Amino acid sequence: MKKPEPEVFGAHSRRTFLKSLGTVAVTAAASRAQSVAAELEKVNGEQTVGPGPVPVTLNVNGKPLKLQLEPRVTLLDALRNYSSLTGAKEGCDRAACGACTVLLDNLPIYACQKLAIEAQGHEITTVEGLAKNGRLTKVQEAFVAKDATMCGYCTPGFVMSLTALLQKNPQPSADEVRHACAGNLCRCGTQPRVLEAALQAAGVAAARTTHTEVMDYA
């Protein structure tokens, strides 16, 4: 599939200056986050009536997804609102929370920072595409078993970040797990369980980070 020429969509390329950065890089560079937000404001401010919808074909979870999209529609918007793949969540739309994390050719990206047209020709995996024939993946299973969800709004993002990590590095250390999740926020505070779940999914013995004891009051 031919990728669209960037200059045709000149105005959009700003929004995608993040494209080379994975989710980790974006947020790990905390100082950069502000300029990211500022940049995005500017781009949003530039919105004028642009070209109308164009046909776009995305390869999502192994299937072609044919859509008519305005060129500036993000991958997240396309998935959530132009088809019914709502597994990736929107928590900020500004590269700051990771709720929208999906895989692009096995690399985790913020779907809110990618234009849908630019995602053409890549393999996109969303949380809906992980379980095969109703069988959860190891990461998903571990999230259930370790009770690593609370409200769960952040969960699909974490699951995708960790799926990517384990593909690349099947035996990560606790610090590597932390690093892989650096771009994902959880406000409910599931992080200790997410860490345990990730290590369990990898079959790595968990270094003790959380100790819990229920004691009977005598």
Identify whether the C-beta of residue 199 lies closer than 8 Å to the C-beta of residue 214: no
143 forms part of the interface with ligand FES (CB under 6 A): no
CA–CA separation, 62 and 191 (whole Å): 30
- Binds 105: which of ligand FES, other proteins, none (CB < 5-8 Å by kind): none
What is the residue type of 117?
A: I
Identify whether the C-beta of residue 195 lies closer than 8 Å to the C-beta of residue 101: no
138 forms part of the interface with other proteins (CB under 8 A): no
Nearer to other proteins among residue 65 and residue 92 (C-beta): 92
What is the residue type of 114?
A: K
**Alpha carbon of 172 to those of 77, 116, 169: distances in Å?**
32, 31, 6
Nearer to other proteins among residue 96 and residue 204 (C-beta): 96
- Binds 112: which of other proteins, ligand FES, none (CB < 5-8 Å by kind): ligand FES
Nearer to ligand FES among residue 99 and residue 202 (C-beta): 99
User: Which H or E run contains 80?
Assistant: none
Binding segment for ligand FES (CB under 6 A), chosen from 36-44, 78-86, 98-106, 160-168, is: 98-106
153 forms part of the interface with ligand FES (CB under 6 A): yes
Partners of 102 in the β-ladder: 109
Return residues touching ligand FES (CB under 6 A): 90-93, 95-100, 110, 112, 149-154, 186-188, 190
